[in-house]
Amino acid sequence: MGLPEINDSNFKTETDNGLVLIDFWAEWCGPCRMVGPVLEELSKEYTGKVSIKKLNVDDNQQTAQALGIQSIPTLLLYKNGQIVDKAIGALPKSQLKNFIDRHI
């Protein structure tokens, strides 16, 4: 199935409402491919609580540069359009759950 992909043109509207976790990733990134399936699982577990989406940094460099994304995977957690938390690297599921739970 996969997570919904967002891009430079819809980034602002996609992060404006509620709790939204954005996974900044790239096709060639090994750790990104490791964290992807975990985020898909969490997306199902947190249905109605947090929306989890992906942004490919190679295809959407404008947003990645504007946010200063230098390492991937980078996870940014938005609450009503504002960044409330950030995590870098392929974290295990338990740490990702704690990362989200702090803001629910």
| Neighbouring-strand partners of residue 59 | none
- Which residues are identified as catalytic? 29, 32
Asked if 83 contacts 76 with a C-beta cutoff of 8 angstroms, the reply is: yes
Residue 32 CA: distances (Å) to CA of 12, 75, 86: 23, 10, 15
